[in-house]
Amino acid sequence: MDLVPALEEPLKQPLKSVLGPATAKVMAEHLGLHTVGDLLHHYPRRYEERGQLTHLADLPMDEHVTVVAQVADARLHSFASAKAPRGKGQRLEVTITDGSGRLQLVFFGNGVHKPHKELLPGTRAMFAGKVSVFNRRLQLAHPAYELLRGDGEEAVESWAGALIPLYPATAKLESWKIGKAVQTVLPTAQEAVDPLPPSLREGRGLLPLPEALLKIHRPHTKADIAGARDRLKWDEAFVLQVALARRRHADAQLPAVPRTPRPDGLLTAFDDRLPFTLTEGQQKVSREIFDDLATEHPMHRLLQGEVGSGKTMVALRAMLAVVDAGGQAAMLAPTEVLAQQHHRSVTEMMGELAEGGMLGGAEHATKVVLLTGSMGAAARRQALLDLVTGEAGIVIGTHALIEDKVQFHDLGLVVVDEQHRFGVEQRDALRGKGKQPPHLLVMTATPIPRTVAMTVFGDLETSVLDQLPAGRSPIASHVVPAADKPHFLARAWERVREEVANGHQAYVVCPRIGDDVDEAVAPGKAGGKKSPEDEAEKRPPLAVLEVAEQLGRGPLQGLRVEVLHGRMHPDDKDAVMRRFTAGETDVLVATTVIEVGVNVPNATVMVIMDADRFGVSQLHQLRGRVGRGSAPGLCLLVTEMPEASPARQRLGAVASTLDGFELSRIDLEQRREGDVLGQAQSGARSSLRVLAVIEDEEVIAEAREEATALVAADPELERLPGLRTALDALLDDEREQYLEKG
């Protein structure tokens, strides 16, 4: 972060004698640590106390863990196998305990001799390995270990303190080896340049940076750890918020054309023909947007609202206001299915107001055109012409809108639906199509906790729609454990038949298409026996084409089953959606192409196969496709994961609440390692190491205030060279672009 020459030294060269080229290589490739500074900022994940033991009972499945525990017993077994037919195969089983639980370690073949001599009952050691399940019991196979000798013979200086730091490690590099490497470079922490302005640091009683680095890696007390973490959290929150504050400051300097609706124009005509009144939330958010549109700087607003809260209505009214003011509005959708759906619903809502220049069009009418990559040449030519002449006030489309050929008469507003599916370059390209920067409205149905909005979307003002329009029904969700209780799955298909018998329709969602073009899951490496758990984990995700065929022949025989996925020809996709919308299909077996925006009020039940392969927010989005009419919705999450696995806990959380904000908190806590700055855009490892976006809400909010004030006073940070250095390190090229184009 605050890299200066001593901290910029590559790990490869200066420390050959200590780290060795092999260790430096593993650190670079597996942990993304390239310099001395990177290593100093690789903080311990937690600390073990000499006399205290980890909770073996809470170990996460399939994760690489480090535990400190005591050997309870060790037994050597002989067995026959293909390699050792005469019963000469050897297996060492060691049970370790920490008072909270027991864990089995297994060693095979020639690997049994050393641990058999060293891991005697009563021995304490650190063990590192990947947690797996065998015969329904947790185990570590062939773990690496380091003995802890509590008396004077302990030579390893790194265990001298009472608190043992445990680092985020990998199978190739155990925590204690990382600890030894950190010890080697720790003296250079004295040269770290402090990014925080002295007044801020002293005013908040924070430690100087070199002291914080020393205490996080070599704490003597728990107070040392707390003080160091408080200080390092501030670094992360503050540097990030300064980056965003500079971005907002730069945006506020850009010119834009103010767009105010005419008092008796298109918007008024549209509102007059609405068959219902807008919810209070919709009215409030609309006012915020109209105020922004009336200013001489581009609006940058994030509109978040639950699935079905009426975001499209709010966005459409903003687009009509801009058309009233003589401009054009473009709406970007992530998929063709969704673009077509938006186009259909917008033209239906507008009626004759969408028939500008046609017979029967109303006096204030404009044209609403659709532009997607798969349109025929003639239709496309006409759409492009309508845009360049200004005949079309509203265009709805996919990435096709961004191509060089597309020219606008006067682009005033860009609405981006489901922002997380759009790369930064695409938004930037569309913004470049206006004579001056157009206003920008970003919509998402993935609820984002306030602190994440302040970090990920820190350069956008936020509006929230949290009321559901009248007439939406509740959705019941249940987990279906297909492996433990196969009869539950049979019952799920019965429920689908019952809903269809009552005149409703169903979705079945699968993670994969199944035509195996570039999507085959990599087969397991040849050789080596796999446990049944491994097999379940490694099998390819269920596929639309196979599942549809099995259902049609089996549990759903006699029902009208169709498939929908992203590789179908756009016309075929559209035809399938039209048939489903019209009620001519009973069950639609689909991939996540139906995740956003698809609106079929008669669909009441959704079965999600291999639900554990989807993220929390994705499951919430998918579930929002049912219960859109007057009948209640039902969502069944099918999984083969064992009950104790994190995947099952995640599904349980989704089933237990319909509150998207609550789910997004759960999702975030589980994916906290993800890079908050460039989640979708940057492959770089996490820029946040000690800052937990959910827990540290206060720090982030305070850092945002401090950063905004500081940037207003000194936008170029001329008086703060340490902070400038830290910013440069945070905003490597990729992230710099992410913020630049946000």
Amino acid letter for position 717: L
Q: Taking the CB of residue 120, how many other CB atoms lie within 10 A of it? A: 12
> For residues 621 and 619, what is the distance between their CA atoms, to the nearest angstrom?
5
Residue 693 has a pLDDT of 64
* Cα angle 77, 80, 83; round to 5: 115
CB 635 within 8 A of CB 594: no
Instruction: Name the residue type at position 555.
Output: P
pLDDT of residue 690: 66
**Amino acid (1-letter code) at residue 520:** A
Residue 538 has pLDDT above 60, yes or no: no
Q: What tens digit of pLDDT does each residue of 554-569 get?
A: 999 999 999 998 888 8
The answer to whether the CB of 415 falls within 8 A of the CB of 351 is no
Per DSSP, 406 falls in state: -
Query: What integer is the mean pLDDT of 294-299?
Result: 91
Q: Which residues contact 215 (CB under 8 A, 6 or more apart)?
A: 207, 224, 225, 227, 228
| Residue length of the chain | 742
Residue 516 phi/psi, 5° resolution?
55, 30
Q: Which amino acid, 502?
A: N
Give the span between the Cα atoms of 200 and 209, in whole angstroms: 13
pLDDT over 60 (residue 541): yes
Percent of the chain topping pLDDT 90: 27
| Span 444-450, average pLDDT | 71
H helix intervals, 486-635: 486-501, 532-538, 544-553, 570-581, 616-623
Whether residue 42 contacts residue 182, with contact meaning beta carbons closer than 8 Å, is answered with: yes
User: What would the two tokens of residue 527 be?
Assistant: 């050789």
Band (516; pLDDT cuts 50, 70, 90): low
Cα–Cα distances (Å) from 105 to 51, 73, 94, 113, 415, in that order, read 22, 11, 5, 14, 56
Least confident of 78-82, 279-283, 513-517: 513-517
- Could you give the CA distance from residue 679 to residue 672 in angstroms, rounded to a whole number? 11
The whole-number pLDDT of residue 322 equals 95
| Predicted confidence band of residue 262 (pLDDT cuts 50, 70, 90) | confident
Q: What is the mean pLDDT of residues 354-377?
A: 80
- Please enumerate, as own/partner, the contacts of 277-280 that have beta carbons within 8 Å and a separation of 24 or more: 278/310, 278/313, 279/310, 279/465, 279/467, 279/469, 280/467
Contact 677, 452 (CB under 8 A): no
594 secondary structure, DSSP code: G
Question: Which residues, in sequence order, are CB contacts of 268 under 8 Å at separation 6+?
Answer: 261, 262
List C-alpha distances in Å: 367 to 352, 461, 482, 517. Answer: 10, 30, 51, 39
For residue 445 the two structure tokens come to 């149905």
Q: How many CB atoms lie within 10 A of CB 302?
A: 21
CB pairs under 8 A, 24+ apart, for 567-572? 567/513, 567/515, 567/517, 569/374, 570/336, 570/372, 570/374, 571/374
- Alpha-carbon dihedral sign for residues 608, 609, 612, 615: negative
Question: What is the Cα–Cα distance from 330 to 341, expressed in whole angstroms?
Answer: 15
Pairwise pLDDT comparison (106 vs 452), residue with the higher score: 106
The pLDDT of residue 183: 85
How far apart (Å, rounded) are the C-alpha atoms in residues 11 and 40? 11
Rounded to two decimals, what is the model's pTM? 0.63
From CA 167, how far away is CA 476, in angstroms rounded? 41
Rounded CA gap, 542 and 508, in Å?
11
Phi, then psi, of 369 in degrees rounded to 5: -110, 155
Please say if the pLDDT value at position 151 is more than 70. Answer: no
Per-residue pLDDT, 357: 65
Residue 318, classed as helix, strand or coil, is helix
Q: State residue 145's pLDDT score.
A: 86
Of 509-513, 597-601, 733-737, the range with the highest mean pLDDT is: 509-513
Task: Give the C-alpha separation, 341 to 563, whole Å.
Answer: 18
Q: Tell me, what's the pLDDT at 7?
A: 64
pLDDT of res. 562 = 92
